[in-house]
Amino acid sequence: MSDPTILVLASLVGGDKHGYAIMADVEQFASVRLGPGTLYGAIARLEERGWIEPLRPGERRQPYTITGAGREYLESQLAVLERVVKAGTRRLRNA
Amino acid sequence: MKARIASWLIRLYPAGARRRYGAEIEAVIYDIDARLRWSDLADLLKGALTMPQPVGNWMRAAAILFGTSILCAMAGGYWMARVQAQFVSKALVRFDTGSKVSAINDRLVRALSAAATIELVDKEQIYPGTAGEKAVDLFMRNVRVSPIVTHSGGPAVQMLFVHDDAATAQRALQKVVALALAEPDSGVSAYIDEAPSFPRSRTHRNPDRFFAGAISGCFAGLVLGFAGIRMMRV
């Protein structure tokens, strides 16, 4: 699980955060360290697709929030991931 | 030091992305502080190269690429067209199937030796205004002899001669082939393909130089354009 966009969405679904807080949160819950370049690449893509949006634009430590569309996208991706995890676990047991 | 490198790397981001996220990335670097790693700097560089661009910036970048490639294509085509065209004269020399490769090689080496060619170059005025060893050097640089495989089997060589003048290219190659045939026979019999009585050579103008220059210029322009986009941080 290393798709930075999913990691950022998963972080923001737990509450609004700014860049460094997202990095720290992702490192804590997924043990993945997002570099600043990767983080802002993901933020730019998510913002462009309307899945996250900035709160109080113009701030140096800009907090972001997940949008309704972002939440739907995250749910669909996590559902796919859940199916993969279930199938993989079942096959591992039978192997 | 890492923080300084990081702030320099942020300057490499495309202008639109830098305006939008530059201060935020700097704030993140400030927050990371002592935990900043070299891998973070590599990540910043990767981010600078892959950061999504707003549509307006893409159009500007495309305009720069288009402009530089067209300009360089025109410049390359003009420059190549100005350079004097060269002509390549070709001849195919076949040897009898029983000929030994070493004997063929000896024959060609003797025919193209400095002693044999110096007379030819001076007498035929292959390079007017140039004589002696210098002319022989020029001559040798423009002669190509390469073994080839023929359908009928048996050894054969292709001889090429390049010159600025079509007639001279053809004449010089005919003389070289004649020299090779006139060599004292060492058990090798040779003849020129499709022209038993006299060496036949064909002269071709090199592929159209303008288009060759234009295509090369176009590629060079694309590379320059990319470099310019990065330098101007479009």
- The torsion angle over the Cα atoms of residues B205, B208, B209 and B211, rounded to 10 degrees, is -170
When pLDDT is averaged across residues B68-89 and rounded to a whole number, the result is 82
Rg (CA), chain B: 30
Q: Which of B39, B45, B47 is opposite residue A40, by nearest beta carbon?
A: B47
Q: What is the pTM of this model?
A: 0.48
Please, are residues B112 and B90 in contact by the beta-carbon 8 Å criterion?
no
When pLDDT is averaged across residues B138-165 and rounded to a whole number, the result is 81
| Chain B residues near residue A35 by CB distance under 8 angstroms | 39-40, 42-44, 46-47
| Chain B residues near residue A48 by CB distance under 8 angstroms | 52
Mean pLDDT computed over every residue of chain A: 90
B40 has a chain A CB within 8 A of its CB: yes
Q: Is the pLDDT of residue B179 over 90?
A: no
Q: Is the pLDDT of residue A93 over 70?
A: yes
The predicted structure's pLDDT at residue B205: 54
pLDDT higher for B122 or B99? Answer: B122
The predicted structure's pLDDT at residue B35: 80
Instruction: Tell me if residue A52 falls in helix, strand or coil.
Output: strand
Q: Which of A20, A44, A48 is opposite residue B28, by nearest beta carbon?
A: A20
Q: Which of B24, B42, B46 is opposite residue A19, by nearest beta carbon?
A: B24
Residue B176 and residue B117: Cα distance in Å, rounded?
A: 8
| Chain A residues near residue B55 by CB distance under 8 angstroms | none
When pLDDT is averaged across residues B189-200 and rounded to a whole number, the result is 43
What value of ipTM does the predicted structure carry?
A: 0.85
Q: Kindly indicate the confidence band of residue B85, based on its pLDDT and cuts at 50, 70 and 90.
A: low
Mean pLDDT computed over every residue of chain B: 77
The predicted structure's pLDDT at residue A66: 94
pLDDT higher for B28 or B155? Answer: B28
Task: Give the residue numbers in A contacting B (CB under 8 Å), as ranges.
Answer: 18-20, 23, 35-41, 43-45, 48, 60-62
pLDDT higher for B44 or B100? Answer: B44
Q: Is the pLDDT of residue B203 over 60?
A: no
Structure tokens at A72: 């739907």
Residue A19 and residue B32: Cα distance in Å, rounded?
A: 11
Q: Is the pLDDT of residue B185 over 70?
A: no
Q: Is the pLDDT of residue B116 over 90?
A: no
The answer to whether the CB atoms of A36 and B20 lie below 8 A apart is no
Q: Kindly indicate the confidence band of residue A26, based on its pLDDT and cuts at 50, 70 and 90.
A: very high
Q: Which of A39, A41, A48 is opposite residue B50, by nearest beta carbon?
A: A41
Comparing alpha-carbon positions, the chain A residue that sits nearest to B13 is: A37
Q: Kindly indicate the confidence band of residue B165, based on its pLDDT and cuts at 50, 70 and 90.
A: confident
H/E run at residue A32: none
Residue B136 and residue B74: Cα distance in Å, rounded?
A: 37
| Chain A residues near residue B28 by CB distance under 8 angstroms | 19-20, 23, 36, 39-40
| Chain A residues near residue B50 by CB distance under 8 angstroms | 37, 41
Q: Kindly indicate the confidence band of residue B232, based on its pLDDT and cuts at 50, 70 and 90.
A: low
Would you give the distance in Å from CA B215 to the centre of its chain?
A: 12
The answer to whether the CB atoms of B44 and A36 lie below 8 A apart is yes
Percent of chain B with pLDDT over 90: 4
Q: Is the pLDDT of residue B126 over 90?
A: no
Q: Kindly indicate the confidence band of residue A73, based on its pLDDT and cuts at 50, 70 and 90.
A: very high
pLDDT higher for A38 or B122? Answer: A38
Q: Is the pLDDT of residue B111 over 50?
A: yes
Q: Residue B129's beta-bridge partner residues? A: none
Q: Kindly indicate the confidence band of residue B201, based on its pLDDT and cuts at 50, 70 and 90.
A: very low
pLDDT higher for B187 or A39? Answer: A39
- d(CA A30, nearest CA chain B) in Å: 18
The predicted structure's pLDDT at residue B194: 40
Q: Is the pLDDT of residue B36 over 60?
A: yes
The answer to whether the CB atoms of B27 and A36 lie below 8 A apart is no
When pLDDT is averaged across residues A41-52 and rounded to a whole number, the result is 91
The answer to whether the CB atoms of B51 and A44 lie below 8 A apart is yes
Instruction: Tell me if residue A60 falls in helix, strand or coil.
Output: coil
Give Cβ neighbours of residue B230 (< 8 Å, ≥ 6 apart).
B12
